[in-house]
Structure 1
Amino acid sequence: MSTNVNTPAKEKNKLGSLVKAFRHYYTPFIISIVLLITSVIFTILTPGMIRNLTNEISPVGKEAVAGNFVINMDNVTHDALTLVAYVGIAFLSGFISGFILNTIIQRFSKDLRKQITAKINNMPLDYFDTTQTGDILSVITNDVDILSTSLQNSVGMLVQSGVMLVGVFVAMFIACWQMALVVVCSLPIMLIIISLTFKFALPLFDKNQKLLGEVNATVEENYSGQLVIKAFNAEEKKVEEFREKNDLFGTILYKSQAIGTLIEPAMQFVSYLTYAAVLIVAGLLFASGSISDIGVITGFIVYVSLFQEPLAQIGQASSTIQLGNAACNRVFTFLEQEELPDEGEKKQLLDHDHIRGEVEFKDVCFGYDPKKLTITNFSGKIKPGMKVAIIGPTGAGKTTLVNLLMRFYEITSGDILVDGVSIKKMSRQELRQIFGMILQETWVINGTLRENIVYNLKNVDENRLQEILEETNLSHYVSTLPQGLDTEIQKESALSAGQKQLVTIARAMTENAPMLILDEATSNVDTRTEILIQKAMDSLTSGRTSFVIAHRLSTIKNADLIFVMKDGNIVETGNHDSLMELGGLYSEIYNSQFN
């Protein structure tokens, strides 16, 4: 079984898909960016005011009077208030921008979760057959959270850093081109550090997210299989398997984070070298008279800080950006998986109030693996109202046949007709409305017992519901519950395996579909309960075309027609008496159970 979310060996970058999915938020995003640019512009203007203030209070360049100099407090006050105004506007614009950006990113994350939920309901079953549940859950939870966090921490920062770099770059050359060149010389070094970090860390972050999915899949598998693990004393083995995967995940996580965190001290080292070089050049320029006031130097030091800060931010956020990129690839790879074809335009083809129940299989071929067919050239015709039993050894194709009838899987070739209409022409919704299903694998939701039985139906008659409880032998159990049918149940603990199956049988009875499919419907109940339920099942199937898959042949002796399957084909057909007289596979299986 695959442990990845059906991704190719080398995932394509999905940033284009992310931008496309974000299109509904372009307007508030642009408003946020405009406010962010406004904040950056006023931040860039602050060094100019600092320069003016420095010159106002500095004796350099001023006319000395008796060894003292005169400070114009009006100018100082004006410049100080202007500086405060610039900082205030920058803060307010940045705050509003961040609020808008964070809001739309949270809403975008909500939209992603809605899309994933809708996607799951529209994906073919074979996807879930080849993908571990824990890995899918990791995409839905961890990857969406990481993508959301990455967007929050990086989008605004990247835009702000880009605008800041360009603005400060221009301002530095206007202030002093000689010192600006010194700063520019440090830029390639910083870019090399960032690019090397991305080059070595990005593959590790991609692998990190995939391994996280595998670890989650292992945890989910161990959690759901606790009964088997304990029964076979496999705790140590499972712990060791988890430890191996978790240790590998920890190693990759350590390497990726280590490389990501190396960038910050490296950038700081380059920053301090740049400060030193700028001060040396400033001293030479001041000594030579190229700079006449000290304010240019103090203002330029602020420019250097503003220029280095965006690069440092990018470096510090590189781990988050790369992790977000890996999560983005997994989320959109999942969202771009092939879905079931849309059948919204298909019209209802059958009169559901007058379903005859004739079913015909015409040369049906199917294989879960296209290169290996499970069912080959299966043909058979079922008359309306017949009770059809399907038996055979494990792996003969019994449940597969039913899955094809319900279009859980599409047939490879051939056709299946219901009342003369091809199921290919019918919508899945219409087809599944005319079939009630009782499966061997029980499924109970967290909710009241009533919600579990009624499930997707509305306006169910209370008297009929009570009759169903009697027929399924559930009435006594319901009477012991504190709130009867309205008692909340937990699917893992409140009901036994047999009681869960009785609930699924009651659910099918409540649906009252014109045709029925029973796949080992009484496999989890005891013999006495089975006998009681069998009467209800006989009443339920009376007059309805029904397909019964059973290993207990005592439950299908009264079937109108029995299909005996082997290796994907019908090898014997008839009723119980005729098949026993034939002395073939059916009689062999029957005698093995009762001798």
Structure 2
Amino acid sequence: MLKPSEAGFRRLIPLLRPHRRLLAIGTLCMLVFVSSQLVLMRLMGRLLPDVGSGDLQRILPVIGLVLLVFAIQKLAQFGQDSLLAGPALQVSQSLRRDLFQRLQKVQLGALEKMSSGDLTYRLTEDADRVSEVIYKTLHDSIPSALQLVAVLGYMLWLDWKLTLAILLLAPFVAWLISLFGARVMVATERSQKKVSELAGLLGEAIEGLPLVRAFAAEPWLERRFEDEIDQHRQARYNTYRLVALQHPVVGIIEVLGFATVLVLAAIRISSGDLAVPELISYLTGLVLLIDPIAHVTANYNEFQQGQSSLRRLREIEKEPSEPADPVPSLPLGRLRGDLNFHEVEFAYTPGQPVLQNFNLSIKAGQVVALVGPSGAGKTTLFSLLLRFNRVNKGQLLFDDKDLSQVSARDLRQQVALVPQRSSVFSGTIAEAIRFGRQATQEQLHQAAKLANAHDFIIRLPDGYNTRLQERGTNVSGGQLQRIAIARAVLGNPAVMLLDEATSALDAEAEAAVQLGLKQAMLGRTVIVIAHRLATVQEADLIVVLEHGRISQQGSHDALMSQGGRYRELCERQFIRVNE
């Protein structure tokens, strides 16, 4: 017995509803195509006996009629295939679009655990496979199933005794198809997993090729790649072997059925129960059954593979989303930049707190540096300020407005992030700075000037229209970082978050970026994650974090005079007390 889909193909039906008109016309063409098979069976029963008589006056009109019906059938087939292709591709596009939108809302913690190669494969190859299954179902599987029903019905009308012999084999054939299909689905899932792993390794290999060469690790990477492609080959081979085995097994059963019909037909003709024209029509129908059976068998295998792909796509929907906006949201207005953490507690995993009883007040326009060992909670504070996560307990206030009551989009338009390693999308420098926002040329130039980027940009061959290559590899690290600063200040944010924005730069590039930062920070509240403490000595407030709590806070001079953890960290970096 055929197993129902567990992947949720029925959930895709609403995506087909906007295309009802095309589907209706395509279905009409499908019915014409199937009906023409029955007419051809009837005409062949009249034509072949007359061919033996040599009477052209009787043969030629029938041949003309056969050609006309055949032409109508092929035109209907063209209409069916071409009209139904559009809705199938639209479903794939809608599915891919919906999943990409969903991906953008997945919690960053969950997203970081996913392989970029695997995600790329799911949104490309898996989505295309689902589209192919929908298309083949519409233009091939359904017509083939209808053809089977129509031809078998006509054969029952011609001779129900002969047809009964064929129908006795049908459950066995259906069981075989289901058995093979289930195994093909399992083998396909393994194959797709191996392809995803291979795509992930390729991404890592391309990204880390300079590091591989630096360590002379090419043989290790080649062995690992060879192992991955061998596993992928074996998984694909197992799928192909199952499909290859199914065709001869089903084919043998078809031949046995055909032979049984011939024997029974000979017996019935000899007894006078069956006429030759009826036998020819019947045998024509029998031949017409072979093609749709083959199509249904092959398409069922592809359906199982598509079911595996759809399941992998649906797994993205199960990933946790970032917190939804409250309804209604509190109007944020233009922020001054006052921040207040009041008894904040937060944990990524229940029972393992990252922040505990955290209290901190930041005044508008202050520059605050967060220092402390890895895992102290510095990055977590940034994720809370950007509303990537919400506090479990306590309040986080912007200008006395609770962040849990405002929309994330309104908040992020006034809080800008400059990450440690800036990433840009391929495109022009102007597009990289705008980053999907509307801005005049003057606003663009002003942002670049604040970031100390304007001068080097206008010296490039195409200025602001210079195209950035993937990952910005055609500009230096310092230039890329200044583009990121310009991107941050373009929206005139009230708060800037700097994640050690100069740690990966040389001294000359760092000086240029520091100048850009100094200009960009004027008049804004700035929070800096700092590991190199020499860069934050001029901060208005330095906050030392340990185990999710504030152990010290104050200016550089005050903290150095106090002693304690901050002074210890400074002395490790050869920063001494000013005499």
TM-score (norm 2): 0.92
Alpha carbons 1:173, 1:180 under 8 Å: kept: yes
Q: Could you say which residue in structure 1 is the equivalent of 2:348?
A: 368
Alignment check: 8 A CA contact 2:6 2:307 kept: no
Q: Aligned residue for 1:4? A: none
From 424, 441, 451, the counterpart of 2:431: 451
Aligned pair partner of 1:23 in 17, 23, 28:
17
| Corresponding residue number in structure 1 for 2:139 | 156
Provide Cα deviations, 1:200-250, integer angstroms capped at 9, x if missing partner: 222111222222222211211222222222222332323333333332222
CA distance in 1, matches of 2:512, 2:184: 64
- Residue matched to 2:279: 297
* 1:547 match: secondary structure: strand
- What is residue 199 of structure 2 aligned with on the other side? 216
CA 30–328 in structure 1, closer or farther in 2 if over 3 Å, else same? farther
Q: In the alignment, is the contact (CA less than 8 A) between 2:354 and 2:548 conserved in 1? A: yes
Does the 8 Å contact 1:18/1:328 carry over to 2? Answer: no
Contact 1:438 1:519 in 2 (8 A): yes
Runs of 5+ unmatched residues, structure 2:
none
Counterpart secondary structure, 1:563: strand
Residue deviations 1:11-70 (CA, integer Å, cap 9, x gap): 9522232334433334432432232122111112211111122343456xxxxxxxxxx9
* Aligned residue in 2 for 1:487: 466
Q: Which residue of 2 aligns with 1:565?
A: 545
Aligned to 2:490, the other structure's residue is in SS state helix
CA distance in structure 1 between the partners assigned to 2:36 and 2:6 by the alignment: 40
**Distance (whole Å) between structure 1 residues aligned to residue 502 and residue 529 of structure 2:** 10
C-alpha separation between the residues in 1 aligned to 2:509 and 2:160?
93
Q: Which region of structure 1 is more displaced relative to structure 2, 80-89 or 419-428?
A: 80-89
- Fraction of identical pairs, as percent: 27
**Structure-2 change in CA distance of 1:178 and 1:58 (3 Å):** farther
Among 47, 54, 57, the alignment partner of 2:48 is 54
| Cα separation, 2, equivalents of 1:588 and 1:289 | 109
CA distance in 2, matches of 1:289, 1:195: 40
Alignment partner of 1:251 out of 234, 258, 265: 234
After TM superposition, the structure 1 stretch with the greater mean CA deviation from structure 2, 164-173 or 578-587, is: 164-173
Shift of 1:591: 1.5
Is 1:187 matched with 2:167? no
The residue number in structure 2 matching 1:478 is: 457
The aligned counterpart of 2:78 is 95
Q: 2:152 aligns with which of 142, 146, 169?
A: 169
How many Å apart are 1:472 and its aligned residue? 4.2
CA contact (8 A) 1:516 1:545 kept: yes
For the residues of structure 2 that align with 1:450 and 1:283, how far apart are their CA atoms? 82
Give the 3 Å change call, closer, same or farther, for CA 184–458 of structure 1 in structure 2.
closer
Letter in 1 for 2:229: N
Which residue pairs with 1:441 in the alignment?
421
Contact 1:473–1:529 under 8 Å retained in 2:
no
Task: Map 1:194-233; keep pairs closer than 5 Å.
Answer: 194-233=177-216
TM-score by length of 1: 0.89
Aligned to 2:388: 408
Residue 404 of structure 1 contacts residue 411 of structure 1 at CA under 8 Å; is this kept in 2?
Answer: yes
Q: Which string of whole-angstrom CA distances, capped at 9 and with x for unpartnered residues, describes residues 442-498 of structure 1?
A: 012212222223334433453x65565555443553344212222122134201222
Equivalent residue for 1:328, pick from 310, 314, 317? 310
The one of 510, 515, 531 equivalent to 1:551 is 531
Structure 1: which 5+ residue stretches go unaligned?
1-10, 60-69
Asked whether the 8 Å contact 1:348–1:430 carries over to 2, the reply is no
The answer on whether the counterparts of 2:342 and 2:394 sit within 8 Å (CA) in structure 1 is yes
Task: Give the corresponding residue for 1:84.
Answer: 67
User: Cα gap change, 1:471/1:34 in structure 2, threshold over 3 Å: closer, same or farther?
Assistant: closer
Partner of 2:478: 498
Select between 190-199 and 473-482 the one with higher mean Cα deviation. Answer: 473-482
Amino acid in structure 1 at the alignment position of 2:422: T
In 1, Cα distance between equivalents of 2:227 and 2:348: 32
Match for residue 33 of structure 2 among 39, 53, 63: 39
Contact between 2:110 and 2:320, CA under 8 Å: does it hold in 1? no
Change (3 A) 1:217 1:173: same
Cα deviation digits, residues 508-527 of structure 1 (max 9, x gap): 23332122111112223333
Matched, 1:511 2:491: yes
1:237 aligned residue (193, 206, 220): 220
Q: Secondary structure at the match of 1:297?
A: helix
Letter in 2 for 1:322: Q
Check 1:416–1:551 CA distance in 2 against 1; reply closer, same or farther (3 A cut): same
Distance in 2 between residues matched to 1:513 and 1:460, nearest whole Å: 17
Q: Distance in 2 between matches of 1:468 and 1:106?
A: 42
Contact kept in structure 2, 1:357 and 1:383, CA below 8 Å? yes
Higher deviation after alignment, 251-260 or 579-588: 251-260
1:278, distance to aligned residue in structure 2 (A):
1.6
* Whole-Å separation in 2 of the counterparts to 1:332 and 1:533: 43
Contact 1:365 / 1:414 at 8 angstroms: preserved in 2? Answer: yes
CA distance in 2, matches of 1:461, 1:80: 74
Aligned counterpart in structure 2 of residue 422 of structure 1, from 402, 417, 420: 402
8 A Cα contact 1:183 1:304, kept in partner: no
Q: 1:33 to 1:457 in 2, by over 3 A?
A: closer
Q: How far apart in 2 are the matches of 1:551 and 1:12?
A: 50
Shift of 1:391: 0.7
State the alpha-carbon separation in 1 of the partners of residues 407 and 311 from structure 2.
33
User: Aligned pair in 2 of structure 1 residues 385, 397: CA closer, same or farther (>3 Å)?
Assistant: same
Do the aligned partners of 1:454 and 1:460 also contact (CA within 8 Å) in 2? Answer: no
Change (3 A) 1:472 1:529: farther
Please, which of 244, 250, 257 is the counterpart of residue 267 of structure 1?
Answer: 250
| 1:334 Cα offset (Å) | 2.4
Cα deviation for residue 393 of structure 1 reads 1.5
State the Cα deviation string for residues 267-287 of structure 1 (Å, max 9, x = none). 222222222222222221121
Question: For structure 1, which segment, 531-540 or 279-288, has the greater mean C-alpha deviation from structure 2 after superposition?
Answer: 531-540
Of residues 400-409 and 484-493 in structure 1, the stretch that sits farther from structure 2 once superposed is: 484-493
Q: What is the aligned-residue RMSD (CA, Å)?
A: 2.4
| Contact 1:190/1:311 (8 A) holds in 2 | no
Go from structure 1 to structure 2 and tell me whether the alpha carbon gap of 1:46 and 1:498 turns closer, same or farther (over 3 Å shift): same
Contact 1:282 1:297 in 2 (8 A): yes
1:471 touches 1:533 (CA, 8 Å); kept in 2?
Answer: no
Please list the CA deviations of residues 397-452 of structure 1 after superposition, one character each: whole Å capped at 9, or x if unmatched: 11211111111222222220001010000111111112122111201221222222
